[in-house]
Amino acid sequence: MYYTGTKIECENYDKLVTIGEDYRGSTLNWADVVTHKDGSRFAILKHEDYDCNMQLIELTSEWYD
């Protein structure tokens, strides 16, 4: 499942998880922000241990080309 929101909201969710998980070595962050092919919508993969109030969606093929 993915959270969808503004680009900044998605980036902040990534920061939330990344800080909480304290990654080391080659690992730098939790997930990349996904941009809808129309450029106007954004999403990020949900981490099972981190909830937030963004909308949950399934990422369908309409998101990418």
Which residues sit at the interface with another protein, rule CB under 8 A? 21-32, 34, 45, 47, 59, 61, 63-65
Closer residue to another protein in complex, CB, 53/58:
58
Closer residue to another protein in complex, CB, 9/43:
43
| CA separation for the pair 44, 35 (Å, rounded) | 9
Closer residue to another protein in complex, CB, 9/44:
44
| CA separation for the pair 14, 40 (Å, rounded) | 19
Burial label, 3 (beta-carbon count in 10 A; 0-12, 13-18, 19+): buried
Minimum separation from the CB atom of position 10 to another protein (A): 13
